[in-house]
Structure 1
Amino acid sequence: MKPARYLMPQAVFVVTGAAGEKTAGMTACWVNRVSHRPPLFAVAIHHGSHTRDVVAEGGCFCIHILRHSQVDLARRFGSVSGREVDKLAGVPWRRGESGAPVLEDVLAYLDCRVVHRFEVGDHTLFVGELVDEGVFRQTVPLLFRPEDYADIGQAGDEG
């Protein structure tokens, strides 16, 4: 039986960052809103991650909320290091107000400038202030449950 901490269904995001001409992106679940005024969002990124290094250097990140049908995009950004491949190649995107890449074919995005950074265990917790946001579609978000992707209707299903 899995420990309780692994049983929590979570939304699936792609987090992108930029430092000058360098860009990076990764699939993430450890993303959260942390303040209404000002609007602040946090993302925890593993110390060994290429995206962590780019966000730390560039001071910006963009959180992308994926549609329930975007499992392939989640896998693309989560399966290989950005040190080895340009994950943004072939993906429609534009430079956001913060400087981070904004993916154009997702449910929604939250573009942030880093205002705080904390080293927490084996992750860096970046807190960013929202500088721009947008909704591209009205649909169901993609979730992750232990060992599989799901949509909201499936998140509580057994098996």
Structure 2
Amino acid sequence: MFVVTTAHGGRRAGCLVGFAAQCSIDPPRFMIWLSKKNHTYEVARHATTLAVHTLTTAERELASLFGSHTGDEEDKFTRCAWRPGPDGVPLLEDSPALFTGEVLDRHDTGDHVGFLVRPTSAVVRREARPQLTFQDVRDFEPGHAA
């Protein structure tokens, strides 16, 4: 599981993401899928930069904030530590590692849109183990219905 954040037009957004994968080594590329029903998707569809944050089991509360609440109803960033990154994208201070990337393309894959990202910077603050998995968050109530 990852938290993806973005910003565009004075709006910031972020959500818990379960569909994400490295999809190329050379050149380096990463794909992140966002639900079309998600507030973060609405901001990201116009954004040029995304940040992908790793999570460990110690960040379960942070995962719950970004997975069980919607930016349509509240500003999640008032409830966590963050700083502005490239293009104003919020970078979460409690994430053990993250990377930012330029959005190269978007692919409609059904109820989710895949965002193809070229990593541009990375920060490793501490070891990101044990990694937070879907099994660790399967009891969360989603911020939006699936």
TM range (shorter): 0.7 to 0.9
Q: Is the 8 A contact 1:98 1:131 kept in 2?
A: no
Kindly provide the CA deviation profile for residues 16-42 of structure 1, in whole angstroms up to 9, marking residues without a partner as x: 010032100001111111112222111
Equivalents in 1 of 2:9, 2:97: separation in Å?
Answer: 24
Q: Is the 8 A contact 2:49 2:101 kept in 1?
A: yes
Match of 1:130 in 2: 119
After TM superposition, the score normalised by the length of structure 1 is: 0.80
Kindly provide the CA deviation profile for residues 70-117 of structure 1, in whole angstroms up to 9, marking residues without a partner as x: 111111111121010001113121222254211111110010110010
Equivalents in 2 of 1:100, 1:35: separation in Å?
Answer: 24
Residue of 133, 136, 143 corresponding to 1:143? 133
After TM superposition, the score normalised by the length of structure 2 is: 0.87
Report the AA paired with residue 133 of structure 2: L
Match of 2:2 in 1: 13
Figure out how many residues of one structure are paired with residues of the other and give that number.
Answer: 138
Q: CA RMSD in A?
A: 1.7
Between 91-100 and 59-68, the greater mean CA deviation after superposition: 91-100
Tell me the SS of whatever aligns to 1:145.
Answer: helix
Equivalents in 2 of 1:15, 1:21: separation in Å?
Answer: 17
Match of 1:8 in 2: none
Residue of 36, 40, 47 corresponding to 1:58? 47
Are 1:117 and 2:106 an aligned pair?
Answer: yes
**Higher normalized helix content (fraction of residues):** 2
Residue of 2, 9, 16 corresponding to 1:27? 16
Q: Structure 1 unaligned runs (5+)?
A: 1-11, 150-159
Aligned-pair identity in percent equals 33
Are 1:91 and 2:80 an aligned pair?
Answer: yes
Q: Structure 2 unaligned runs (5+)?
A: 141-146
